[in-house]
């Protein structure tokens, strides 16, 4: 007889070859509760009697040992109070991006405003803003159809009315760009390709490179395009918010100033790294 508890302890032991003991214990617990739907009440159950359980557990174990992110394996993650579907077509939302959402909410108490999220990925920013501000009109676009499918599912499963559409900010190619917005927000690709040597395998080998990297010789590529887009599609005194690589925050802020934006602000994340920029469109 192999109990739930035996199997979980065995998984923890195997994971300690890749993770520290505390993290291995946490991951094993999540796998059994979220993936296999087995709780403490089942800890004396003989898992050998559960059809295909041992085969599925071995598959999950090998995926974890290969550094596949836990969130992709269980198919979901939490972001700003929302349970969101994630898969290999979208980045796993980071805590820093929750801070970007928080900054927007702190700065805006208006009842009815229009918001656009550029490069929405999983839809985490758009969904979180709509969740906290149901009266806001929230739209979002992405270049990836697969990402938009995931984002749409996240809005649907959380009963959120977000307008998603396909678009490429670099090519100025939009299906639904006739609107004007009060807030434009983006967490675009910003990691220079030279940083690949410093990245963990769980990110480098599994998360979509399209949403991660920019060329070393053009690190502000997306911010330049976003600034041009914002000048055309922001309402008067509208505000732009972006997440950035810590090494480029000052350069992004200077570019926004050069493009005629006002009240340009920079902000650190909770880890103490410069991470965010916001600015107003001049009237």
Give dist(CA 150, CA 125) in Å, integer.
13
Cβ neighbours of residue 73 closer than 8 Å, sequence gap 6 or more: 31, 35, 60, 63, 64
Q: Report the pLDDT averaged over residues 7-36.
A: 92
Give dist(CA 31, CA 33) in Å, integer.
6
- At residue 46, the pLDDT reads 76
What are the phi and psi torsion angles at 149 (to 5°)?
A: -65, -45
Give dist(CA 170, CA 223) in Å, integer.
10
Say whether pLDDT at 156 is over 70: yes
How many percent of the chain have pLDDT more than 70?
Answer: 97
- At residue 119, the pLDDT reads 96
Cα 166-115-251 angle, rounded to 5 deg: 85
**243-271 pLDDT per residue, tens:** 999 999 999 999 999 999 999 999 999 99
**79-137 pLDDT per residue, tens:** 999 999 999 999 999 999 999 999 999 999 998 899 999 999 999 999 999 999 999 99
Say whether pLDDT at 63 is over 90: yes
68: alpha, beta or left? (left if phi > 0; alpha if psi -120 to 50): beta
As a whole number, the mean pLDDT across the chain is 92
**203-227 pLDDT per residue, tens:** 888 999 989 888 888 899 999 999 9
End-to-end CA distance of the chain: 73
b/e 120-144 (16+ beta carbons within 10 angstroms → b): bbbbbbbbbbbbebeebbbbbbbbb
Residue 266's beta-bridge partner residues? 277
- At residue 174, the pLDDT reads 65
- At residue 175, the pLDDT reads 59
Say whether pLDDT at 240 is over 80: yes
Give dist(CA 13, CA 34) in Å, integer.
19
**178-205 pLDDT per residue, tens:** 689 999 999 999 888 888 888 888 888 8
How many percent of the chain have pLDDT more than 90?
Answer: 73
Say whether pLDDT at 25 is over 90: yes
pTM of the model: 0.93
Pair 8, 28: CB distance under 8 Å: yes
**30-49 pLDDT per residue, tens:** 998 899 888 777 767 777 77
Q: Report the pLDDT averaged over residues 146-156.
A: 98
Cβ neighbours of residue 51 closer than 8 Å, sequence gap 6 or more: none
Give dist(CA 234, CA 154) in Å, integer.
26
């Amino acid at each position: 007889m192999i109990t739930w508890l035996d199997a979980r302890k065995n998984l923890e032991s195997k994971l300690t070859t890749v993770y520290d003991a505390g993290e291995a214990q946490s991951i094993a617990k999540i796998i059994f509760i979220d993936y296999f739907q087995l709780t403490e009440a089942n800890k004396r159950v003989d898992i050998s009697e559960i059809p295909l359980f041992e085969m599925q557990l071995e598959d999950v174990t090998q995926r974890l040992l290969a550094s596949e992110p836990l969130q992709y394996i269980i198919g979901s993650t939490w972001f700003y109070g929302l349970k969101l579907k994630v898969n290999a077509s979208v980045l796993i939302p980071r805590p820093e991006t929750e801070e970007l959402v928080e900054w927007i909410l702190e700065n805006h108490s208006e009842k009815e405003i229009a918001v656009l999220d550029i490069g929405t990925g999983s839809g985490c920013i758009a969904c979180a803003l709509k969740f906290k501000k149901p009266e806001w009109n929230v739209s979002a676009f992405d270049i990836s159809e697969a990402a938009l499918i995931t984002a749409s599912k996240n809005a649907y499963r959380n009963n959120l009315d977000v307008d998603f559409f396909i678009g490429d900010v670099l090519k100025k190619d939009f299906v639904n760009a006739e609107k004007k917005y009060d807030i434009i927000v983006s967490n675009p690709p910003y990691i220079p390709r030279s940083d690949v040597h410093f990245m963990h395998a769980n990110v480098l080998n599994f998360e979509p490179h399209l949403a991660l990297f920019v060329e070393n010789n053009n690190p502000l590529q997306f911010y330049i395009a976003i600034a041009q887009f914002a000048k055309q599609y922001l309402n008067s005194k509208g505000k732009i918010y972006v997440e950035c690589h810590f090494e480029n925050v000052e350069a992004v802020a200077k570019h926004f100033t050069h493009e005629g934006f006002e009240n340009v602000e920079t902000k650190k994340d909770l880890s103490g790294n410069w991470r965010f920029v916001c600015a107003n469109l001049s009237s």
